[in-house]
A and B are shown apart, each in its own frame.
Chain A
Amino acid sequence: GENVEQHPSTLSVQEGDSAVIKCTYSDSASNYFPWYKQELGKRPQLIIDIRSNVGEKKDQRIAVTLNKTAKHFSLHITETQPEDSAVYFCAALRNSGNTPLVFGKGTRLSVIA
């Protein structure tokens, strides 16, 4: 089955700097890759996703890139702000209709003002 590895497990950046979180997946048939943000005490919320027919997707300060050959995808946050501090989860799905998302272990991002 699918296995998703996420790095780093913790990340601290200065406000205004960029943050990059990387994930690798094992199932070459996976074709949907969402990212979730979970603030302390809150639910995980979908912030951006990418499908395998696209190499990059951007939404304001966040972007996701996908390298299907290497089977890895990354979340990029530019101009980080204190409110970006949260745990970020990547996930992968083989869209056969009968399999759930497989999540990485999460990255705790701290943005230092």
Chain B
Amino acid sequence: DARVTQTPRHKVTEMGQEVTMRCQPILGHNTVFWYRQTMMQGLELLAYFRNRAPLDDSGMPKDRFSAEMPDATLATLKIQPSEPRDSAVYFCASGFPPGGMQYFGPGTRLTVL
């Protein structure tokens, strides 16, 4: 049963530190999405990639967030410098158009003190 994996599952850091979250999409999926979930905002799309190329990152605060896909098996989301308002659960999802189905990873719970 193929699944999206994410590391770390939990991260506690201090304000100003760099945070890197990693995602391994399901093998064969060519589209990767990054979401942020807070109680107030629901599921918020940050960025997504197709065939490793960024298609849209308009949901990300550009000054501190960056997303990349170094290869087809790894997507990264970085926050530098981190701030307390970045505390949330960050989900990665992968899919293979044109079906539309997306499968979520377990999430990274980030706490910035």
Contact = CB atoms under 8 A, between A and B. Distances in A.
Interface of A: 32, 34, 36, 42-46, 49, 89, 93, 95, 97-98, 100-101, 103-106
Given A43-B106, A98-B50, A32 B42 contact: no
A102 B1 CA distance: 26
A6 B91 CA distance: 21
B25 interface: no
A32 B100 contact: yes
A108 B76 CA distance: 30
B65 interface: no
Interface string B86-113: 0000010000011111111111000000
What 8 A-B pairs come out closest when comparing CB atoms? A32-B100, A43-B104, A93-B100, A97-B97, A105-B42, A103-B43, A44-B104, A43-B106
A97 B98 CA distance: 5
B18 interface: no
Which among B50, B55, B97, B106 has the greatest number of chain A C-beta atoms within 10 A?
B97
B101 A46 contact: yes
B38 to A, nearest CB: 12
Given A89-B43, A100-B48, A46 B102 contact: yes
B45 A100 contact: yes
Nearest to A97: B97
B52 to A, nearest CB: 15
B101 A34 contact: yes
Nearest to A31: B100
Nearest to B91: A43
A44 B33 contact: no
Contacts of B42: 89, 103-106
Given A103-B42, A105-B42, A45 B104 contact: yes
A50 to B, nearest CB: 11
- Residue among A34, A101, A106 with most chain B CB within 10 A: A101
Contacts of A100: 33, 45, 48, 56, 102
